[in-house]
Structure 1
Amino acid sequence: MKIFCIMLSFLLVLGVTSCRKKEKVDFEFNKDLDYTPTELDNWLTKNFTDPYNIEVDYRFDRYKGSIDENLVPPSENKVKEQMGMVLSGYIQPYQIAGGNTFVKRCVPKEWVLFGSFSIQSDGSRVLATASGGRNITLYEVNAVNIADPEAVRPRLKTLHHEFTHTLSQIQRLPLEFENISRADYTESWRNSTLYPDKDNDSLGFVSRYARANVMEDFAETAGFLLAYGQLWFDNKAGKIPRSGYDILKKKETAVVNYFRDQFGVDFRKLQREVAFAMYNEFNDKSFQSFEYWFFNQGLFDPKLSYNTATVSADVKTAVDNFKAAVYAYSASAKYVVQDLTYIFTPANATTGTLVVSVPFKTGTNPVIYADYNFTYTQDPVSHSITFVKATQGTGVNYTNAGYFMASFMTNISSYLTGSTFKVDWSVGKPDLSRRDETFFNSGGFYKAGDKTSYLNFQLVKLRK
């Protein structure tokens, strides 16, 4: 028996020995495609693979997409545009607001690009999908146009929407959000007859799609807050019924808290960084201009107070001179100017009226008013505005204005009508930039070619 075991072991060793091959096997585990890296490949490696361990798969692989869809590969020149948008409008803002560790841990590692669109059974088109917390697939890459901010914005919204889904696969949505609209979600959200937009607004949904379910509601809310921005969100909320306003603001708070508490991401800074990228990288100048939101959209109260404004020295001198003239008008009454209120009433996107209303009083008597009429013309391309003194109206306010007309014309009207002005946010605050928290809290105008002569007003958002 022992002899048999020894012989069997010998034969096994002999068999194993006789199977050894000394020839070299020419195989590389990473060599799945036969191509020489192009300039685009090198750019993708430098900007995505090396710093973030992200694979960008743009060469056509039929099995990376749904097999029942007729998909085509993206054009190489569009790949760089699309991924440049991803880098500056998504990854880099998160890196600033959430840190390197967050980006490297949470940003999906596989990005698949297709040139054509994806059509759902209901006929709707899909711009992107997220799956497994690891993959994001982008469609319609061949239609990317980074020169048009209105084309970039919805793509970025979809991107941030899908990434919010990725985050919700890592950390559950907050209960405070889940309970807000629990009873109002519906599978028939597409039916505009059953669920008209006015009803969706009054129920506090940021979009029709948000009404599909709580996951889409959360992702849509975050996506719009980031890609369209806080000004857009507040403008929408401010123009719907109070019930919808309250719900939208609750959802906004829940989103902000979720990003902070679960991931350490400063959502407000993230918003500003996305807006900064849209402005600098994608020419989003009109949508983010002061005149668009003040004159065109009516987001802010059109009554601007001099008392809460910051003004240049020459403007202060002119106003002080006018106040002194009003005080000296009557030796017995000694009228005291309480404020100068600049009331703008747009007629259309570029023209309208300005009434400079001057409240004044004597002693403990009630406040009375003197009103002075102007027209304005605003150029949204050059961001300029000009004022022309208009014919005075009739009534007690205009009668009062006549008492101080000479001084008003010398000090106030001559300043307004004597120059072309530029309109902007945070005028006279050179230390503030679009990345600062308070940048969009004030705005006004300064003399074209002379930023040291200006009026900058505190802004108050309106609500329906």
Structure 2
Amino acid sequence: MKKLNILLTAGMMLTALSCKKSENLDRKIVGLGGDKWKQDVLDSWLADTFTKPFNIEVKYRWDGSEQSDISKTLVPPRAEKVQPTMEIVKAGWIDVYTAEAGMDFIKQFAPRQYLLVGSLQYNAGGTVTLGEAEGGNKVTLFNINNFVKTDRNIIKPVLKTIHHEFTHILNQTVSYAKEFERITPSGYTADWNNTTLASANAAGFITQYSQAAPGEDYAEMTSVMLTDGKAAYDAKVNSIVLPKIDSIPDPANPPFIIQREMPNATAQAAIRKKEQSVITYFKQAFSIDFARLRNRTNYALAENAPTNLATLFGNARQFTSLSVEPDKADGVSASFQTTWATAKAGVAAISSTSRVLNSFVLFFYPKAGELVLRVNYTSGTTATLAHFVYKVAYDANRNMTLTYVRRDANGTTLAPGIIALTNYLTTGSFGVSWRYDADFLEYGQLTKTSDANSFFSGSLGVTKY
């Protein structure tokens, strides 16, 4: 009680002292009117790029009242990270939708505000939040302070988050078909964060988070398809396999055998069915060609953060094969067309048996340091394969050189006729690069380092040798 009396007494003394001083009660109280910031170059750029044309506010200066969960510890974004981040938002989201659906589409459906936060948002259970949408009006992007515009591993998750949240906004406007929820109904779980990617894939989900709820599954399917691009997305789905191993003879390296993982046909079919649901939704609800939207998104990523295709080939990497159809002419130089025509004529002239050269596939590193050329041809009316094995070497610039090692029996039969092609592959070195067609669809391309006008390209995949 004594302590209480002392505190009360002190309080009364302060009150008395304060009452003796005359105060101007009409004076404005600092802070209650909100912070005032002088507009700078960054603010002008944001206004000209987002606010004026699309009515989108980009808020990056700290305002605690904007945070929906005050229990989280967050930090403001650094100003120098804001424009690079929003340049990717524009290039990989606004520009691609504008190109395919028009400016009015973004004006109508875009959230009215982007809120940028410097740090990740950490959640219970060990998960983190990269972005969130609130009622279609506001999107919050986290982890801005770690943004590096030229790093694909950083900008791709950011762009994926944007497309994920925008899908929610579109779904709130036009609902997706309810049949989607019945494709893998038993796989949804609140415990998704304790699931491995392999387990999620085997259950028919493209990511672990897809298992959180049907709406999240839909947004994940859409955002993964858009930011992976066709080749990488197809490779991802086609790589979903069963634990079962199938062994077959290795025609290019007898008497050894090849051990192959069997495709998980059920899981792949479920994801492909979801994929088709997304494609149909965008076409029917908004008259958007999803394939072109996907290609443009992937191209925007490639323009801002290019990757070295040579580093993406091989087992346990993104791609294992390059399939080439030279007769289609698209993506094949005139000089290579001449090489191919010579090889076709040579194969046809080998003997009285009618042989027609059709296409070829390059398999990257079924054995360490080796590339296999599989030539597809018909002998009479029978589809036939010939295999040639090459040692692969790369220089400091990732240019590739091939050295012949061996071939199988069909390769020996074909060798005299196909020498124009095999000599082309073993003469000089090749630059390995991406190629994009008029619809922004990506391919892999090998170009002679000695002649930029001599090249061939093909479809990237995970075709198993």
Q: TM over 0.5, yes or no? A: yes
Counterpart Cα distance in 2 of 1:102 and 1:396? 59
Shift of 1:262: 1.7
2:201 aligned residue = 201
1:49 aligned residue = 51
The equivalent position to 1:264 in structure 2, one of 287, 291, 296, is: 287
1:204-353 equivalence runs, <5 A: 204-240=204-240, 241-281=264-304, 283-286=305-308, 289=309, 292=312, 297=317, 299=319, 304=324, 312=333, 314-315=335-336, 317-318=338-339, 334-339=352-357, 342-347=360-365, 351-353=369-371
1:121 aligned residue = 124
SS at match of 1:130: strand
Q: Assess, with a 3 A threshold, how the Cα gap between structure 1 residues 420 and 214 changes in structure 2: closer, same or farther.
A: same
Say yes or no: does 1:78 pair with 2:81: yes
Counterpart Cα distance in 2 of 1:129 and 1:96? 25
1:416 aligned residue = 425
1:454 aligned residue = 455
Q: Which runs of 5+ in 1 are unaligned?
A: 1-30, 427-432
Q: Tell me if structure 1 keeps the 8 A contact 2:320–2:365.
A: no
Matched to 2:426, the amino acid is T
Shift of 1:457: 4.5
CA RMSD of aligned residues (A): 3.5
SS at match of 2:150: coil
Q: Assess, with a 3 A threshold, how the Cα gap between structure 1 residues 242 and 297 changes in structure 2: closer, same or farther.
A: same
1:173 aligned residue = 176
Tell me the number of residue pairs that the alignment of Structure 1 and Structure 2 aligns. Answer: 409
Shift of 1:316: 5.0
Q: Tell me if structure 2 keeps the 8 A contact 1:355–1:372.
A: yes
Shift of 1:156: 1.0
1:157 aligned residue = 160
Say yes or no: does 1:374 pair with 2:390: yes
Q: Tell me if structure 2 keeps the 8 A contact 1:237–1:463.
A: no
- Tell me the TM-score normalized by structure 1: 0.76
Shift of 1:337: 3.4
Counterpart Cα distance in 2 of 1:210 and 1:358? 39
Q: Assess, with a 3 A threshold, how the Cα gap between structure 1 residues 145 and 459 changes in structure 2: closer, same or farther.
A: closer
Matched to 1:39, the amino acid is V
1:388 aligned residue = 403
- Tell me the TM-score normalized by structure 2: 0.76
Counterpart Cα distance in 2 of 1:180 and 1:35? 51
Counterpart Cα distance in 2 of 1:251 and 1:463? 25
Counterpart Cα distance in 2 of 1:447 and 1:114? 46
1:429 aligned residue = none
Shift of 1:461: 6.6
SS at match of 1:252: helix
The equivalent position to 2:39 in structure 1, one of 37, 40, 55, is: 37
Shift of 1:186: 1.5
Shift of 1:181: 2.1
1:445 aligned residue = 446
Q: Assess, with a 3 A threshold, how the Cα gap between structure 1 residues 372 and 118 changes in structure 2: closer, same or farther.
A: closer
Matched to 2:100, the amino acid is A
In terms of fraction of residues, the more strand-rich structure is 2
Q: Assess, with a 3 A threshold, how the Cα gap between structure 1 residues 435 and 358 changes in structure 2: closer, same or farther.
A: closer
Q: Assess, with a 3 A threshold, how the Cα gap between structure 1 residues 168 and 450 changes in structure 2: closer, same or farther.
A: same
Q: Which runs of 5+ in 2 are unaligned?
A: 1-32, 241-263
Shift of 1:164: 1.1
Identical residues among aligned pairs (%): 27
SS at match of 2:36: coil
Counterpart Cα distance in 1 of 2:288 and 2:411? 54
Q: Assess, with a 3 A threshold, how the Cα gap between structure 1 residues 170 and 397 changes in structure 2: closer, same or farther.
A: closer
